[in-house]
Structure 1
């Protein structure tokens, strides 16, 4: 177990960086608008490219992790992320900025999936949900660092300086992962599937699609709001300054950290599907409240963002559910398939909201989003109501 927790800690460094870089645009979006003249649609598209390339990378990543493990696959991708950070820092136009953002997405594509693959071998199955939720909770502190601390840091060295120094940090952490992580405990080989067609079972499974669409809307929407539109809403609708926006986003991220910490133990106690359903229902209240009462008092604003952060964090349970539903030799492909759905959700919701905002206002975009979440929840109901805890 000491070796397992050492590997946990090393991989956590990379996941912290993944969360930090995906969330930066929520704070630096006014700087990007000012320095590069981005429109809302361009801002949404550029930001969402992190998630598009991240999602696309999941498709081959699952097979690579099942075949070779995370030790070298993960840091190799991180070097591409470091290159993306340097390109982003030097960008003078929308296209260059987009290329840098896209490479950052590829660079961190294995930050969570590589860890989940490793944990499936280093930790017992009955602790998988709790270990996974703890990992995500601690890694989510990267989003906290990308709120008020980032707002202060960019005032000191500029947003370009943040990404220049960030590139060096990415390289150093990639080196630590390559040197300090083992794919499996000593004497244990990576399990290999004995039937080439087994992976197709995932995409043919009705359970997968019920979990996947919920993760698309809740998990994808959670990150789309945390990493861009949640900040933009505060800038444009509420007229807050950078430090005030950072403070509200800090509340969102702190609540998310608490949600990540509690969701695993709650799922162990009450049953994973039912806990995930309850959290998804709670999350839906966030966009509804913001759409119907955009000028709520400051306390209400903090509470609403806290609600969205806390309940949205429970989306990580869909990954744990995939690990428990599908066989161990398909863990990499199962969790990356669910993750693909979530990050395609971030891409399409982040971009789509920018398109809607170019035609209408925030209230309309938020009501559309809430309706889509409700439809995904309806699709998930058979899993939550008909599947006993012991079946997982």
Structure 2
């Protein structure tokens, strides 16, 4: 096994845990309601804190990864996450539960970004999109582990024990990362930026905002739909039962896994900006069709969810594009800034759609969302005219 493959596999273990812990509340929510007396508003707020702290942590994380590399930054944050899992396991009230969930978000903040920083040094640039998409696709299987397997496990040992043992697993994987992952191949020095204002170079770049807003609407909307509103729409607008909803969401997730696997090779072959733009356009058809024809036949409904799952997964290409747009010494800051935009999109779009739904219908909310995605795509158009190359900022 080559050193690069070993680095990939070890970091993948941590990313698997990230997906697992972000998805657990979908399965244990009845237990949390029963044991701690949580209402829907409290449950929603507490669950979303993972995404909020995850997003906020991206801001200092980029500089830390560029300065020190992922080898120790990543596992150090994972230990914070282990503490969050223990606090969550022993929580007796809403506040403790919320703090535990927030610490889990911080703990896994580098699970993707640390890997992308490492891959920028361990793999050639022309394979970066393919390696990144494969990494995300395999790591996303953590969400599958947090479905039926988690439901069975919590029935055997209880949800609190799941998180207690989970904390131990997080610590063990953190140690494996620290011992088994080097920041760069032998003889390669971790690049250091000579820029005076690192953050200013990225946040003042117009291309960053074009990529960032598209990821906010496409990546953020994709996760907001997958983890909350996609199921709620089927329950409320279509009046479906749990088995039907679960079946359609399962199809959505499988399509997303396929999208994660294929988006990198397609970007390498056809050009990253062009593929990302096409995916964004296709994804927008989903909410638009649901808004205009909410009572469409079930077969077409499946097709729309498959389309949204598959094309929504292409949002990961925004991270690869940031890596190719900015020089290597700014890779960590660039990809974490794009990731920040995406996860703030999850938080704000989940919240914002709820506000709209409180005043209007799903059709209105979906039309607003479709219009916002269209505006982000319009802003992104200049980047789709030619392949991106790393800038000499």
- 2: distance between equivalents of 1:332 and 1:157? 40
Q: 5+ residue gaps in structure 2?
A: none
How far 1:242 sits from its partner (Å)?
Answer: 5.2
Within a 5 Å distance, the mapping from 1:178-217 to structure 2 comes to 178-217=178-217
Tell me if structure 1 keeps the 8 A contact 2:326–2:390: no
Q: Mark the CA change 1:84 to 1:362 in structure 2 (over 3 Å): closer, same or farther.
A: farther
The CA deviation string for residues 117-137 of structure 1, in whole angstroms up to 9 with x for no partner, is 001111111111111111111
Q: In structure 2, what is the equivalent of residue 76 of structure 1?
A: 76
Tell me what 2:386 maps to. 387
Counterpart position of 1:96? 96
Q: TM (normalized to structure 2)?
A: 0.91
**How many residues are paired up?**
391
Higher mean displacement: 36-45 or 282-291: 36-45
Q: After the TM superposition, which of the residue ranges 226-235 and 347-356 deviates more from structure 2?
A: 226-235
In structure 2, the partner of 1:53 is 53
Measure, in 2, the Cα distance between the counterparts of 1:124 and 1:6: 16
Of structures 1 and 2, the one scoring higher in RCO (CA 8 A, sep 6+) is 1
After superposition, the C-alpha distances for 1:217-251 in whole angstroms (9 at most, x for unaligned) are: 11011112222333343444455555554433322
Correspondences of 1:178-327 after superposition (within 5 Å): 178-238=178-238, 244-327=244-327
Partners of 2:160 and 2:294 in 1: CA distance:
32
| Residue range with higher mean Cα deviation, 357-366 or 222-231 | 357-366
Q: Deviations over 1:66-115 (max 9, x none)?
A: 11111111111111112222222333433222212211110100000000
In structure 2, C-alpha distance between the alignment counterparts of 1:362 and 1:146, rounded to whole Å: 28
The answer on whether the counterparts of 1:48 and 1:351 sit within 8 Å (CA) in structure 2 is no
Moved more, 191-200 or 350-359: 350-359
Distance across 1 between alignment mates of 2:155 and 2:237: 23
Q: CA deviation at 1:388?
A: 3.8
- Take 2:325 and 2:199, find their aligned partners in 1: how far apart are those partners? 13
Per-residue Cα deviation, 1:191-220 (whole angstroms, up to 9, x for no partner): 111222244211111100000000001101
Query: How do residues 123-202 of structure 1 correspond to structure 2 at under 5 angstroms?
Result: 123-202=123-202
Q: Distance in 1 between matches of 2:223 and 2:382?
A: 26
Structure 1 residue 368: Cα displacement: 2.3
Instruction: Report the 3-state secondary structure (helix = DSSP H, G, I; strand = E; otherwise coil) of the residue aligned with 1:112.
Output: helix
> Deviation digits for residues 26-80 of structure 1, max 9, x if unmatched?
4444554555454544333322211111111111111111111111111111111
Give the CA deviation at 1:179: 1.4
Question: What are structure 1's unaligned runs of at least 5 residues?
Answer: none
CA contact (8 A) 1:27 1:245 kept: no
Name whichever of 302-311 and 147-156 sits farther off.
147-156
1:245-304 Cα deviation digits (max 9, x unpaired): 443332222111110111111111111111101111111222233334444444334332
Distance in 2 (CA, whole Å) between partners of 1:335 and 1:107 is 18
Q: Is the Cα contact below 8 Å between 1:44 and 1:354 reproduced in 2?
A: no
Q: Distance in 2 between matches of 1:205 and 1:255?
A: 33
Please, which moves more after superposition, 22-31 or 342-351?
A: 22-31
SS in 2 for 1:317: helix
Q: Which residue of 2 aligns with 1:116?
A: 116
Q: CA deviation at 1:145?
A: 2.3
Residue in 2 aligned with 1:25? 25
Measure the CA separation in 2 of the matches of 1:154 and 1:122. Answer: 39
TM-score by length of 1: 0.91
Q: State the shift of 1:20 in Å.
A: 1.7
Counterpart for residue 339 of structure 1 = 339
